[in-house]
Amino acid sequence: VQLQASGGGLVQAGGSLRLSCAASGTVFRINTVGWYRQAPGKQHDLIAHITRDGSTWYHDSVNGRFTISRDNAKNTVWLQMNSLKPEDTAVYYCYADEQKSPDSTNSPLWGQGTLVTVSS
């Protein structure tokens, strides 16, 4: 199973972008999914995640501006980013907790990064 992230790009401050991340291959179940980001010269930070039943969590820095959502049937997660700021500039990575069988524990999956650049 692979995760494919897309949707990054260049946007002006105050603008919006929508990132998507889709799992391909034979998937039994994807549990919690989320997004990390890594700004230049900084560590990567978890910014949002969503459980399979739709419970969400956001980092304070994006709460109220970003919205995470998912479609379990399509094994896809989205991150709607509004009111973007220059400090949101980073490489964004999606991750997922994959369950390979009914009796297995979660295994982490990572997508490739997608670059978001917010100009002032």
> In this predicted model, what pLDDT tens digit does every residue of 52-92 receive, in sequence order?
999 999 999 999 999 999 999 999 999 999 999 999 999 99
Amino acid at 76: T
Residue 36 to residue 62: CA distance in whole angstroms: 12
Q: What is the pLDDT of residues 9-67, one digit of tens each?
A: 999 999 999 999 999 998 899 999 999 999 989 999 999 999 999 999 999 999 999 99
SS3 content of the chain, % helix, strand, coil (to 5): 0, 60, 40
pLDDT given for residue 103 in this prediction: 93
